Structure 1
Protein backbone atom coordinates (compact mmCIF):
# COMPACT_ATOMS: atom_id res chain seq x y z
CA UNK A 1 0.00 0.00 0.00
CA UNK A 2 1.31 3.47 -0.85
CA UNK A 3 2.69 5.69 1.92
CA UNK A 4 -0.27 7.45 3.54
CA UNK A 5 1.75 10.65 3.67
CA UNK A 6 1.91 10.57 -0.12
CA UNK A 7 -1.86 10.12 -0.23
CA UNK A 8 -2.27 13.15 2.04
CA UNK A 9 0.06 15.22 -0.13
CA UNK A 10 -1.72 14.11 -3.31
CA UNK A 11 -5.12 15.05 -1.90
CA UNK A 12 -3.93 18.47 -0.74
CA UNK A 13 -2.32 19.05 -4.15
CA UNK A 14 -5.52 18.08 -5.98
CA UNK A 15 -7.77 20.27 -3.82
CA UNK A 16 -5.19 22.99 -3.09
CA UNK A 17 -6.68 23.08 0.38
CA UNK A 18 -5.59 21.54 3.67
CA UNK A 19 -9.16 21.78 4.96
CA UNK A 20 -10.73 20.00 1.99
CA UNK A 21 -8.05 17.31 2.11
CA UNK A 22 -8.71 16.72 5.81
CA UNK A 23 -12.46 16.35 5.15
CA UNK A 24 -11.89 13.99 2.23
CA UNK A 25 -9.45 11.79 4.16
CA UNK A 26 -11.41 11.89 7.45
CA UNK A 27 -8.46 13.18 9.44
CA UNK A 28 -7.84 16.45 11.26
CA UNK A 29 -6.26 19.47 9.60
CA UNK A 30 -3.31 19.40 12.04
CA UNK A 31 -2.71 15.78 10.98
CA UNK A 32 -2.64 16.88 7.34
CA UNK A 33 -0.14 19.62 8.18
CA UNK A 34 2.02 17.12 10.11
CA UNK A 35 2.18 14.69 7.18
CA UNK A 36 3.12 17.46 4.75
CA UNK A 37 5.85 18.75 7.07
CA UNK A 38 7.27 15.23 7.40
CA UNK A 39 7.48 14.92 3.62
CA UNK A 40 9.11 18.35 3.34
CA UNK A 41 11.64 17.35 5.99
CA UNK A 42 12.33 14.07 4.19
CA UNK A 43 12.89 15.72 0.80
CA UNK A 44 14.39 18.90 2.26
CA UNK A 45 12.16 20.98 -0.01
CA UNK A 46 9.03 23.06 0.31
CA UNK A 47 6.08 21.42 -1.45
CA UNK A 48 3.56 24.26 -1.15
CA UNK A 49 3.82 28.02 -1.10
CA UNK A 50 1.21 30.39 0.29
CA UNK A 51 -0.11 33.39 -1.62
CA UNK A 52 -2.56 35.18 0.63
CA UNK A 53 -5.25 32.68 1.57
CA UNK A 54 -4.35 30.32 -1.26
CA UNK A 55 -1.69 27.66 -1.65
CA UNK A 56 0.12 26.53 -4.78
CA UNK A 57 2.57 23.78 -5.59
CA UNK A 58 6.24 24.63 -5.71
CA UNK A 59 8.46 23.15 -8.43
CA UNK A 60 9.31 20.32 -6.02
CA UNK A 61 5.63 19.91 -5.25
CA UNK A 62 4.73 19.62 -8.93
CA UNK A 63 7.41 16.99 -9.39
CA UNK A 64 6.13 14.97 -6.44
CA UNK A 65 2.53 15.38 -7.60
CA UNK A 66 3.30 13.84 -11.00
CA UNK A 67 5.10 10.98 -9.28
CA UNK A 68 2.22 10.41 -6.83
CA UNK A 69 -0.32 10.42 -9.64
CA UNK A 70 1.64 7.74 -11.48
CA UNK A 71 2.05 5.68 -8.29
CA UNK A 72 -1.66 5.64 -7.44
CA UNK A 73 -2.65 4.78 -11.00
CA UNK A 74 -0.21 1.86 -10.93
CA UNK A 75 -1.54 0.67 -7.57
CA UNK A 76 -5.10 0.71 -8.92
CA UNK A 77 -4.02 -1.19 -12.03
CA UNK A 78 -2.09 -3.81 -10.05
CA UNK A 79 -4.99 -4.33 -7.62
CA UNK A 80 -7.39 -4.82 -10.52
CA UNK A 81 -5.11 -7.29 -12.31
CA UNK A 82 -4.44 -9.33 -9.16
CA UNK A 83 -8.16 -9.52 -8.42
CA UNK A 84 -8.75 -10.56 -12.03
CA UNK A 85 -6.55 -13.61 -11.52
CA UNK A 86 -9.27 -14.98 -9.24
CA UNK A 87 -12.01 -13.52 -11.46
CA UNK A 88 -12.75 -10.98 -8.72
CA UNK A 89 -13.83 -7.48 -9.68
CA UNK A 90 -13.59 -5.02 -6.83
CA UNK A 91 -12.44 -1.51 -6.03
CA UNK A 92 -13.76 2.04 -6.38
CA UNK A 93 -14.84 3.41 -9.75
CA UNK A 94 -15.41 7.16 -9.98
CA UNK A 95 -17.77 8.19 -12.75
CA UNK A 96 -19.21 11.43 -14.04
CA UNK A 97 -22.33 12.12 -16.08
CA UNK A 98 -23.75 15.27 -17.57
CA UNK A 99 -27.09 16.30 -16.14
CA UNK A 100 -29.52 14.83 -18.69
CA UNK A 101 -27.57 11.58 -18.96
CA UNK A 102 -27.39 11.23 -15.17
CA UNK A 103 -31.12 11.74 -14.69
CA UNK A 104 -32.46 9.47 -17.42
CA UNK A 105 -29.74 7.10 -18.67
CA UNK A 106 -27.08 6.34 -16.07
CA UNK A 107 -29.09 5.34 -12.98
CA UNK A 108 -30.52 2.08 -14.40
CA UNK A 109 -27.14 1.31 -16.01
CA UNK A 110 -25.36 1.67 -12.66
CA UNK A 111 -27.94 -0.55 -10.98
CA UNK A 112 -27.39 -3.30 -13.55
CA UNK A 113 -23.61 -2.95 -13.22
CA UNK A 114 -23.79 -3.27 -9.43
CA UNK A 115 -26.04 -6.32 -9.71
CA UNK A 116 -23.32 -8.04 -11.73
CA UNK A 117 -20.28 -6.64 -9.91
CA UNK A 118 -21.41 -6.29 -6.32
CA UNK A 119 -17.89 -5.71 -4.97
CA UNK A 120 -17.24 -2.67 -7.13
CA UNK A 121 -18.03 0.57 -5.32
CA UNK A 122 -19.41 3.34 -7.52
CA UNK A 123 -19.15 7.08 -7.07
CA UNK A 124 -21.02 9.40 -9.45
CA UNK A 125 -20.77 13.15 -9.87
CA UNK A 126 -23.31 15.06 -11.95
CA UNK A 127 -22.66 18.37 -13.69
CA UNK A 128 -22.91 19.88 -17.14
CA UNK A 129 -20.73 18.56 -19.94
CA UNK A 130 -18.01 21.18 -19.49
CA UNK A 131 -17.55 20.32 -15.83
CA UNK A 132 -17.54 16.55 -16.44
CA UNK A 133 -14.82 16.92 -19.06
CA UNK A 134 -12.77 19.01 -16.61
CA UNK A 135 -13.29 16.41 -13.87
CA UNK A 136 -11.91 13.75 -16.22
CA UNK A 137 -8.89 15.85 -17.17
CA UNK A 138 -8.27 16.63 -13.49
CA UNK A 139 -8.57 12.86 -12.80
CA UNK A 140 -11.39 13.33 -10.31
CA UNK A 141 -13.20 10.64 -12.32
CA UNK A 142 -12.00 7.74 -14.48
CA UNK A 143 -14.83 7.67 -17.00
CA UNK A 144 -17.83 9.78 -17.93
CA UNK A 145 -20.94 9.88 -20.10
CA UNK A 146 -21.84 13.23 -21.62
CA UNK A 147 -24.40 14.75 -23.96
CA UNK A 148 -22.02 17.12 -25.75
CA UNK A 149 -18.88 16.77 -27.82
CA UNK A 150 -16.33 19.55 -27.43
CA UNK A 151 -13.48 17.66 -29.16
CA UNK A 152 -11.01 18.27 -26.34
CA UNK A 153 -7.70 16.81 -27.51
CA UNK A 154 -6.99 15.26 -24.10
CA UNK A 155 -10.19 13.19 -24.24
CA UNK A 156 -11.30 10.13 -26.23
CA UNK A 157 -14.97 10.31 -27.25
CA UNK A 158 -16.73 6.96 -27.77
CA UNK A 159 -20.26 7.06 -29.31
CA UNK A 160 -22.70 5.45 -26.89
CA UNK A 161 -26.40 6.17 -27.43
CA UNK A 162 -28.51 8.10 -29.95
CA UNK A 163 -30.86 10.81 -28.74
CA UNK A 164 -33.32 13.29 -30.23
CA UNK A 165 -34.18 16.72 -28.89
CA UNK A 166 -37.80 17.68 -29.50
CA UNK A 167 -39.80 20.87 -29.03
CA UNK A 168 -42.07 20.45 -26.01
CA UNK A 169 -44.80 22.45 -24.33
CA UNK A 170 -47.54 21.91 -21.80
CA UNK A 171 -50.74 20.34 -23.12
CA UNK A 172 -52.39 23.58 -21.87
CA UNK A 173 -50.17 25.82 -24.00
CA UNK A 174 -52.15 27.99 -26.47
CA UNK A 175 -50.32 26.31 -29.36
CA UNK A 176 -50.60 22.76 -28.04
CA UNK A 177 -53.20 22.01 -30.70
CA UNK A 178 -50.66 22.61 -33.45
CA UNK A 179 -48.73 19.66 -34.86
CA UNK A 180 -46.05 21.76 -36.53
CA UNK A 181 -44.40 25.17 -36.31
CA UNK A 182 -42.21 27.02 -38.79
CA UNK A 183 -38.64 28.15 -38.19
CA UNK A 184 -39.84 31.77 -38.34
CA UNK A 185 -42.39 31.15 -35.59
CA UNK A 186 -39.62 29.99 -33.26
CA UNK A 187 -38.23 33.52 -33.07
CA UNK A 188 -41.45 35.51 -33.40
CA UNK A 189 -44.04 33.55 -31.43
CA UNK A 190 -42.41 31.30 -28.84
CA UNK A 191 -41.01 32.07 -25.40
CA UNK A 192 -38.28 29.58 -24.54
CA UNK A 193 -36.91 27.91 -21.44
CA UNK A 194 -33.28 26.90 -21.93
CA UNK A 195 -30.45 25.17 -20.10
CA UNK A 196 -27.55 27.12 -18.64
CA UNK A 197 -24.46 28.09 -20.62
CA UNK A 198 -21.97 25.20 -20.61
CA UNK A 199 -24.73 22.63 -21.06
CA UNK A 200 -24.06 20.06 -23.77
CA UNK A 201 -27.76 20.11 -24.62
CA UNK A 202 -27.66 23.85 -25.25
CA UNK A 203 -24.62 23.51 -27.51
CA UNK A 204 -26.36 20.88 -29.63
CA UNK A 205 -29.53 23.01 -29.94
CA UNK A 206 -27.58 26.13 -30.92
CA UNK A 207 -25.63 24.20 -33.56
CA UNK A 208 -28.81 22.76 -35.08
CA UNK A 209 -30.55 26.15 -35.18
CA UNK A 210 -27.59 27.77 -36.93
CA UNK A 211 -27.69 25.02 -39.59
CA UNK A 212 -31.24 26.10 -40.55
CA UNK A 213 -30.29 29.78 -40.60
CA UNK A 214 -31.62 30.76 -37.18
CA UNK A 215 -29.36 32.70 -34.85
CA UNK A 216 -29.96 31.33 -31.30
CA UNK A 217 -29.67 34.89 -30.00
CA UNK A 218 -32.93 35.69 -31.86
CA UNK A 219 -34.95 33.35 -29.63
CA UNK A 220 -37.04 34.89 -26.87
CA UNK A 221 -35.49 33.19 -23.85
CA UNK A 222 -37.59 33.72 -20.74
CA UNK A 223 -35.38 31.86 -18.30
CA UNK A 224 -32.38 29.50 -18.08
CA UNK A 225 -32.54 26.56 -15.70
CA UNK A 226 -29.94 24.05 -14.57
CA UNK A 227 -31.71 20.76 -15.20
CA UNK A 228 -34.25 19.10 -17.47
CA UNK A 229 -36.51 18.34 -14.50
CA UNK A 230 -36.72 22.01 -13.58
CA UNK A 231 -37.45 22.90 -17.21
CA UNK A 232 -40.28 20.36 -17.38
CA UNK A 233 -41.76 21.71 -14.17
CA UNK A 234 -41.55 25.26 -15.51
CA UNK A 235 -43.28 24.30 -18.76
CA UNK A 236 -46.19 22.83 -16.83
CA UNK A 237 -46.77 26.22 -15.23
CA UNK A 238 -45.94 28.72 -17.98
CA UNK A 239 -46.84 29.27 -21.66
CA UNK A 240 -43.31 28.49 -22.83
CA UNK A 241 -41.57 25.84 -24.89
CA UNK A 242 -38.24 24.04 -24.68
CA UNK A 243 -36.14 21.57 -26.61
CA UNK A 244 -35.84 18.46 -24.42
CA UNK A 245 -34.39 14.98 -24.83
CA UNK A 246 -37.00 12.44 -25.88
CA UNK A 247 -35.56 10.16 -23.18
CA UNK A 248 -36.61 12.69 -20.54
CA UNK A 249 -40.32 13.02 -21.30
CA UNK A 250 -41.58 9.45 -21.62
CA UNK A 251 -43.85 9.63 -18.58
CA UNK A 252 -45.18 13.13 -19.39
CA UNK A 253 -46.10 12.08 -22.92
CA UNK A 254 -47.90 8.99 -21.62
CA UNK A 255 -49.96 10.96 -19.09
CA UNK A 256 -50.65 13.77 -21.53
CA UNK A 257 -49.04 16.55 -19.51
CA UNK A 258 -46.57 17.52 -22.23
CA UNK A 259 -46.92 17.71 -26.00
CA UNK A 260 -44.30 17.39 -28.74
CA UNK A 261 -44.61 19.81 -31.65
CA UNK A 262 -42.60 19.29 -34.83
CA UNK A 263 -40.64 22.14 -36.39
CA UNK A 264 -40.67 22.19 -40.20
CA UNK A 265 -37.17 21.51 -41.52
CA UNK A 266 -35.57 21.07 -38.08
CA UNK A 267 -34.33 17.76 -36.70
CA UNK A 268 -32.07 17.80 -33.66
CA UNK A 269 -30.28 14.51 -33.19
CA UNK A 270 -27.23 13.88 -31.10
CA UNK A 271 -25.10 11.14 -29.62
CA UNK A 272 -24.29 10.56 -25.97
CA UNK A 273 -20.59 9.83 -25.59
CA UNK A 274 -18.57 7.79 -23.12
CA UNK A 275 -15.39 9.74 -22.42
CA UNK A 276 -11.99 8.56 -21.21
CA UNK A 277 -8.58 10.20 -21.15
CA UNK A 278 -6.59 9.77 -24.35
CA UNK A 279 -4.55 6.57 -24.17
CA UNK A 280 -5.36 5.93 -20.50
CA UNK A 281 -8.16 3.85 -19.02
CA UNK A 282 -8.12 2.00 -15.71
CA UNK A 283 -9.16 -1.63 -15.37
CA UNK A 284 -12.48 -0.84 -13.67
CA UNK A 285 -13.23 1.95 -16.12
CA UNK A 286 -12.56 -0.42 -19.00
CA UNK A 287 -14.85 -2.99 -17.38
CA UNK A 288 -17.64 -0.42 -17.09
CA UNK A 289 -17.03 0.83 -20.62
CA UNK A 290 -17.60 -2.60 -22.18
CA UNK A 291 -20.54 -3.32 -19.89
CA UNK A 292 -22.20 -0.05 -20.94
CA UNK A 293 -21.65 -0.77 -24.62
CA UNK A 294 -23.11 -4.28 -24.32
CA UNK A 295 -26.14 -2.97 -22.43
CA UNK A 296 -27.47 -1.21 -25.53
CA UNK A 297 -26.71 -3.90 -28.12
Structure 2
Protein backbone atom coordinates (compact mmCIF):
# COMPACT_ATOMS: atom_id res chain seq x y z
CA UNK A 1 0.00 0.00 0.00
CA UNK A 2 1.38 3.41 -1.02
CA UNK A 3 1.21 6.15 1.61
CA UNK A 4 3.24 8.92 3.23
CA UNK A 5 4.05 7.44 6.61
CA UNK A 6 5.38 10.70 8.05
CA UNK A 7 2.12 12.47 7.27
CA UNK A 8 0.23 9.54 8.79
CA UNK A 9 2.32 9.88 11.97
CA UNK A 10 1.53 13.60 12.11
CA UNK A 11 -2.19 13.01 11.57
CA UNK A 12 -2.32 10.33 14.26
CA UNK A 13 -0.60 12.62 16.79
CA UNK A 14 -2.89 15.50 15.76
CA UNK A 15 -6.03 13.36 16.12
CA UNK A 16 -5.01 11.83 19.46
CA UNK A 17 -3.08 14.87 20.80
CA UNK A 18 -0.66 12.40 22.32
CA UNK A 19 2.74 11.12 21.18
CA UNK A 20 2.31 8.05 23.39
CA UNK A 21 -1.11 7.09 21.99
CA UNK A 22 0.09 7.68 18.45
CA UNK A 23 3.10 5.42 19.00
CA UNK A 24 0.88 2.64 20.35
CA UNK A 25 -1.57 2.93 17.47
CA UNK A 26 1.14 2.98 14.81
CA UNK A 27 3.17 0.20 16.48
CA UNK A 28 6.36 2.28 16.59
CA UNK A 29 8.35 3.75 19.47
CA UNK A 30 7.59 7.15 20.96
CA UNK A 31 11.10 8.45 20.05
CA UNK A 32 10.36 7.45 16.44
CA UNK A 33 7.14 9.49 16.52
CA UNK A 34 9.07 12.46 17.91
CA UNK A 35 11.69 12.14 15.15
CA UNK A 36 9.05 12.12 12.41
CA UNK A 37 7.35 15.22 13.82
CA UNK A 38 10.67 17.02 14.31
CA UNK A 39 11.66 16.27 10.70
CA UNK A 40 8.35 17.64 9.43
CA UNK A 41 8.83 20.80 11.50
CA UNK A 42 12.38 21.14 10.14
CA UNK A 43 11.25 20.72 6.53
CA UNK A 44 8.41 23.20 6.88
CA UNK A 45 10.31 25.63 9.09
CA UNK A 46 7.45 25.98 11.58
CA UNK A 47 6.27 24.47 14.86
CA UNK A 48 3.33 22.12 14.51
CA UNK A 49 2.54 21.49 18.18
CA UNK A 50 2.53 23.53 21.36
CA UNK A 51 4.01 21.51 24.20
CA UNK A 52 3.58 22.21 27.89
CA UNK A 53 2.25 20.91 31.23
CA UNK A 54 2.21 17.34 29.93
CA UNK A 55 -0.18 18.16 27.07
CA UNK A 56 0.09 19.15 23.44
CA UNK A 57 -2.10 21.13 21.04
CA UNK A 58 -1.90 22.10 17.40
CA UNK A 59 -0.41 25.43 16.40
CA UNK A 60 -1.99 27.48 13.62
CA UNK A 61 0.46 25.89 11.18
CA UNK A 62 -0.35 22.47 12.61
CA UNK A 63 -4.04 23.02 11.86
CA UNK A 64 -3.15 23.98 8.29
CA UNK A 65 -1.05 20.86 7.85
CA UNK A 66 -3.78 18.63 9.30
CA UNK A 67 -6.20 19.90 6.66
CA UNK A 68 -3.68 19.15 3.89
CA UNK A 69 -2.77 15.78 5.45
CA UNK A 70 -6.41 14.69 5.50
CA UNK A 71 -6.77 15.50 1.80
CA UNK A 72 -3.43 13.97 0.78
CA UNK A 73 -4.00 10.73 2.70
CA UNK A 74 -7.51 10.48 1.19
CA UNK A 75 -5.90 10.72 -2.27
CA UNK A 76 -3.45 7.96 -1.35
CA UNK A 77 -6.44 5.86 -0.29
CA UNK A 78 -8.13 6.46 -3.66
CA UNK A 79 -4.88 5.55 -5.44
CA UNK A 80 -4.58 2.27 -3.55
CA UNK A 81 -8.25 1.50 -4.16
CA UNK A 82 -7.82 2.02 -7.90
CA UNK A 83 -4.95 -0.43 -8.17
CA UNK A 84 -6.61 -2.90 -5.80
CA UNK A 85 -9.59 -2.91 -8.19
CA UNK A 86 -7.28 -3.88 -11.04
CA UNK A 87 -5.85 -6.76 -8.99
CA UNK A 88 -9.25 -7.75 -7.55
CA UNK A 89 -7.95 -7.42 -4.03
CA UNK A 90 -8.76 -5.09 -1.16
CA UNK A 91 -6.31 -3.44 1.20
CA UNK A 92 -6.10 -0.23 3.19
CA UNK A 93 -7.64 1.22 6.33
CA UNK A 94 -11.17 2.06 7.48
CA UNK A 95 -11.58 4.45 10.39
CA UNK A 96 -15.01 3.54 11.70
CA UNK A 97 -17.08 5.17 14.42
CA UNK A 98 -20.10 3.58 16.07
CA UNK A 99 -22.49 4.72 18.74
CA UNK A 100 -22.42 2.66 21.91
CA UNK A 101 -25.24 0.16 21.31
CA UNK A 102 -24.06 -0.64 17.78
CA UNK A 103 -20.40 -0.90 18.81
CA UNK A 104 -21.14 -3.25 21.69
CA UNK A 105 -23.91 -5.48 20.39
CA UNK A 106 -23.96 -5.45 16.58
CA UNK A 107 -20.49 -4.75 15.25
CA UNK A 108 -18.21 -7.31 16.98
CA UNK A 109 -19.53 -10.23 14.95
CA UNK A 110 -19.56 -8.22 11.72
CA UNK A 111 -16.00 -6.99 12.27
CA UNK A 112 -14.69 -10.49 12.98
CA UNK A 113 -16.23 -12.03 9.85
CA UNK A 114 -15.26 -9.04 7.70
CA UNK A 115 -11.64 -9.37 8.85
CA UNK A 116 -11.62 -13.04 7.95
CA UNK A 117 -12.97 -12.20 4.49
CA UNK A 118 -10.65 -9.21 3.89
CA UNK A 119 -7.53 -9.78 6.02
CA UNK A 120 -5.54 -6.97 4.35
CA UNK A 121 -8.01 -4.27 5.37
CA UNK A 122 -7.17 -2.64 8.69
CA UNK A 123 -10.20 -1.66 10.78
CA UNK A 124 -10.02 1.00 13.48
CA UNK A 125 -13.14 1.37 15.65
CA UNK A 126 -13.98 4.42 17.75
CA UNK A 127 -16.96 4.12 20.10
CA UNK A 128 -18.93 6.98 21.63
CA UNK A 129 -22.42 8.43 21.76
CA UNK A 130 -24.10 9.63 18.55
CA UNK A 131 -23.16 13.28 19.06
CA UNK A 132 -19.49 12.40 19.54
CA UNK A 133 -19.39 10.17 16.43
CA UNK A 134 -20.87 12.97 14.31
CA UNK A 135 -18.27 15.40 15.68
CA UNK A 136 -15.43 13.01 14.79
CA UNK A 137 -16.71 12.53 11.22
CA UNK A 138 -17.26 16.27 10.72
CA UNK A 139 -13.68 16.79 11.92
CA UNK A 140 -12.45 14.17 9.40
CA UNK A 141 -11.01 11.98 12.15
CA UNK A 142 -13.24 9.10 11.04
CA UNK A 143 -14.16 7.89 7.55
CA UNK A 144 -17.75 7.05 8.41
CA UNK A 145 -19.94 5.83 11.24
CA UNK A 146 -23.01 3.91 12.34
CA UNK A 147 -25.26 5.81 14.71
CA UNK A 148 -28.57 5.75 16.55
CA UNK A 149 -31.15 8.46 16.25
CA UNK A 150 -32.08 10.93 13.52
CA UNK A 151 -30.03 12.98 11.08
CA UNK A 152 -28.97 16.16 12.86
CA UNK A 153 -26.17 17.77 10.83
CA UNK A 154 -26.66 19.21 7.35
CA UNK A 155 -22.93 18.80 6.67
CA UNK A 156 -23.23 15.00 6.97
CA UNK A 157 -24.83 12.39 4.73
CA UNK A 158 -27.08 9.76 6.35
CA UNK A 159 -28.25 6.40 4.95
CA UNK A 160 -30.44 3.76 6.66
CA UNK A 161 -28.77 0.65 8.09
CA UNK A 162 -31.40 -1.25 10.07
CA UNK A 163 -34.39 -0.74 12.35
CA UNK A 164 -34.40 -1.21 16.12
CA UNK A 165 -36.85 -0.95 19.01
CA UNK A 166 -36.40 0.37 22.54
CA UNK A 167 -38.32 -1.62 25.14
CA UNK A 168 -39.01 -0.96 28.81
CA UNK A 169 -37.18 -3.49 30.97
CA UNK A 170 -36.62 -4.20 34.64
CA UNK A 171 -34.84 -6.88 36.61
CA UNK A 172 -36.51 -10.29 36.44
CA UNK A 173 -36.17 -10.35 40.24
CA UNK A 174 -38.02 -7.05 40.75
CA UNK A 175 -40.60 -8.34 43.23
CA UNK A 176 -42.12 -4.89 43.78
CA UNK A 177 -43.46 -4.86 40.20
CA UNK A 178 -44.84 -8.07 38.75
CA UNK A 179 -47.08 -6.71 35.97
CA UNK A 180 -46.30 -7.58 32.36
CA UNK A 181 -47.90 -4.38 31.08
CA UNK A 182 -48.33 -0.78 32.17
CA UNK A 183 -49.57 2.55 30.78
CA UNK A 184 -47.82 5.83 30.01
CA UNK A 185 -49.61 7.44 32.94
CA UNK A 186 -48.36 4.73 35.31
CA UNK A 187 -44.91 4.96 33.74
CA UNK A 188 -44.60 8.41 35.34
CA UNK A 189 -44.49 6.75 38.76
CA UNK A 190 -41.80 4.20 37.92
CA UNK A 191 -38.15 5.02 38.72
CA UNK A 192 -36.25 5.29 35.42
CA UNK A 193 -32.58 5.02 34.57
CA UNK A 194 -31.72 6.88 31.36
CA UNK A 195 -28.70 7.52 29.14
CA UNK A 196 -26.61 10.68 29.17
CA UNK A 197 -27.28 13.84 27.13
CA UNK A 198 -26.03 13.41 23.57
CA UNK A 199 -27.08 9.76 23.46
CA UNK A 200 -29.10 8.72 20.41
CA UNK A 201 -31.13 6.42 22.66
CA UNK A 202 -32.17 9.33 24.86
CA UNK A 203 -33.05 11.54 21.87
CA UNK A 204 -35.32 8.87 20.38
CA UNK A 205 -37.04 8.24 23.72
CA UNK A 206 -37.70 11.97 24.21
CA UNK A 207 -39.19 12.25 20.73
CA UNK A 208 -41.47 9.23 21.23
CA UNK A 209 -42.72 10.58 24.55
CA UNK A 210 -43.35 14.02 23.05
CA UNK A 211 -45.50 12.45 20.32
CA UNK A 212 -47.79 11.19 23.12
CA UNK A 213 -47.84 14.47 25.02
CA UNK A 214 -45.28 13.43 27.65
CA UNK A 215 -41.73 14.50 28.43
CA UNK A 216 -38.78 13.26 30.46
CA UNK A 217 -39.41 16.10 32.90
CA UNK A 218 -42.73 14.43 33.74
CA UNK A 219 -41.00 11.14 34.55
CA UNK A 220 -39.37 9.94 37.75
CA UNK A 221 -35.70 9.91 36.72
CA UNK A 222 -33.60 8.18 39.36
CA UNK A 223 -30.26 8.05 37.55
CA UNK A 224 -28.44 8.92 34.34
CA UNK A 225 -25.66 6.56 33.26
CA UNK A 226 -23.27 6.71 30.31
CA UNK A 227 -23.56 3.17 28.97
CA UNK A 228 -26.09 0.42 28.35
CA UNK A 229 -23.98 -2.08 30.29
CA UNK A 230 -23.93 0.25 33.27
CA UNK A 231 -27.70 0.61 33.12
CA UNK A 232 -28.25 -3.15 32.95
CA UNK A 233 -26.11 -3.73 36.00
CA UNK A 234 -27.91 -0.96 37.87
CA UNK A 235 -31.23 -2.65 37.08
CA UNK A 236 -29.98 -5.95 38.55
CA UNK A 237 -29.49 -4.32 41.95
CA UNK A 238 -32.52 -2.03 42.10
CA UNK A 239 -36.22 -1.86 41.43
CA UNK A 240 -35.72 0.57 38.55
CA UNK A 241 -36.69 0.50 34.87
CA UNK A 242 -34.97 1.53 31.63
CA UNK A 243 -35.62 1.80 27.91
CA UNK A 244 -33.01 -0.35 26.16
CA UNK A 245 -32.48 -1.65 22.63
CA UNK A 246 -33.77 -5.15 22.05
CA UNK A 247 -30.37 -5.83 20.46
CA UNK A 248 -28.71 -5.13 23.82
CA UNK A 249 -30.79 -7.43 26.01
CA UNK A 250 -31.13 -10.69 24.04
CA UNK A 251 -28.75 -12.58 26.33
CA UNK A 252 -30.33 -11.16 29.51
CA UNK A 253 -33.82 -12.19 28.38
CA UNK A 254 -32.61 -15.71 27.61
CA UNK A 255 -30.82 -15.94 30.97
CA UNK A 256 -33.88 -14.55 32.82
CA UNK A 257 -31.94 -11.57 34.18
CA UNK A 258 -34.22 -8.92 32.67
CA UNK A 259 -37.84 -8.91 31.54
CA UNK A 260 -39.80 -6.66 29.20
CA UNK A 261 -42.77 -4.61 30.40
CA UNK A 262 -45.16 -3.68 27.59
CA UNK A 263 -46.61 -0.15 27.53
CA UNK A 264 -50.18 0.08 26.27
CA UNK A 265 -50.35 2.06 23.03
CA UNK A 266 -46.67 3.06 23.10
CA UNK A 267 -43.76 1.86 21.01
CA UNK A 268 -40.29 3.35 20.61
CA UNK A 269 -38.84 2.49 17.23
CA UNK A 270 -35.72 3.94 15.71
CA UNK A 271 -33.33 3.52 12.82
CA UNK A 272 -29.62 2.84 12.89
CA UNK A 273 -27.91 4.83 10.13
CA UNK A 274 -24.65 5.09 8.25
CA UNK A 275 -23.17 8.58 8.38
CA UNK A 276 -20.32 10.18 6.44
CA UNK A 277 -19.25 13.52 5.01
CA UNK A 278 -21.11 14.49 1.83
CA UNK A 279 -19.27 13.27 -1.26
CA UNK A 280 -16.96 10.92 0.64
CA UNK A 281 -17.81 7.38 -0.37
CA UNK A 282 -14.51 5.53 -0.67
CA UNK A 283 -14.40 2.05 -2.12
CA UNK A 284 -13.48 0.39 1.18
CA UNK A 285 -16.22 2.26 3.03
CA UNK A 286 -18.76 1.16 0.43
CA UNK A 287 -17.48 -2.42 0.67
CA UNK A 288 -17.92 -2.48 4.45
CA UNK A 289 -21.32 -0.79 4.24
CA UNK A 290 -22.64 -3.43 1.83
CA UNK A 291 -21.15 -6.16 4.03
CA UNK A 292 -23.11 -4.81 7.02
CA UNK A 293 -26.33 -4.60 5.02
CA UNK A 294 -26.01 -8.15 3.73
CA UNK A 295 -25.89 -9.49 7.29
CA UNK A 296 -28.07 -7.17 9.34
CA UNK A 297 -30.59 -5.49 7.06
CA UNK A 298 -33.35 -6.16 9.57
CA UNK A 299 -36.74 -4.44 9.35
CA UNK A 300 -39.08 -4.54 12.31
Cα deviation digits, residues 91-125 of structure 1 (max 9, x gap): 22222211111222112222232232232222222
| Helix, strand or coil at the partner of 1:89 | coil
Post-superposition Cα deviations, 1:258-286, rounded to whole Å, max 9, x if no partner, equal 22122223211000111122111222111
Of residues 250-259 and 21-30 in structure 1, the stretch that sits farther from structure 2 once superposed is 21-30
Q: Which runs of 5+ in 2 are unaligned?
A: none
**Number of the residue aligned with 2:14:** 13
Determine if the alignment matches structure 1 residue 230 to structure 2 residue 230: yes
**Number of residue pairs matched?**
296
SS at match of 1:139: coil
Inter-partner Cα distance in structure 1 for 2:94 and 2:46: 34
TM-score, normalisation: structure 2: 0.87
**Offset at 1:190?**
0.5
Corresponding residue for 1:108? 109
How far apart in 2 are the matches of 1:242 and 1:198? 17
Residues 107 and 5 of structure 1: is their aligned pair in 2 closer, same or farther, counting only changes over 3 Å? closer
Q: 1:266–1:17: structure 2 CA closer, same or farther, 3 Å change rule?
A: same
> Which residue is equivalent to 1:239?
239
> Does structure 1 conserve the Cα–Cα contact (< 8 Å) formed by 2:174 and 2:239?
yes
| 1:40, distance to aligned residue in structure 2 (A) | 3.5
1:93 corresponds to:
94
- Supply the distance in 1 between the matched residues of 2:124 and 2:63 (Cα, whole angstroms): 27
Deviation sequence 1:198-231 (CA, Å, 0-9, x none)? 2111111111112211120222222222222222
The residue aligned with 1:203 is 203
CA distance in 2, matches of 1:127, 1:68: 24
**Cα 1:85–1:199 shift into 2, 3 Å:** same
In angstroms, what is the RMSD of aligned CA positions? 2.5
Structure 2 distance, partners of 1:177, 1:51, is: 58
TM-score norm. by structure 1 comes to 0.88
- The one-character-per-residue Cα deviations of 1:214-251 (angstroms, maximum 9, x if unpaired) are 12022222222222222222222211111111122223
Tell me the alpha carbon deviations over residues 13-69 of structure 1, each in whole angstroms, 9 at most, x when there is no partner.
333444544444455555444444433343334444568765554444333322221
Question: What residue number does 2:137 align with?
Answer: 136
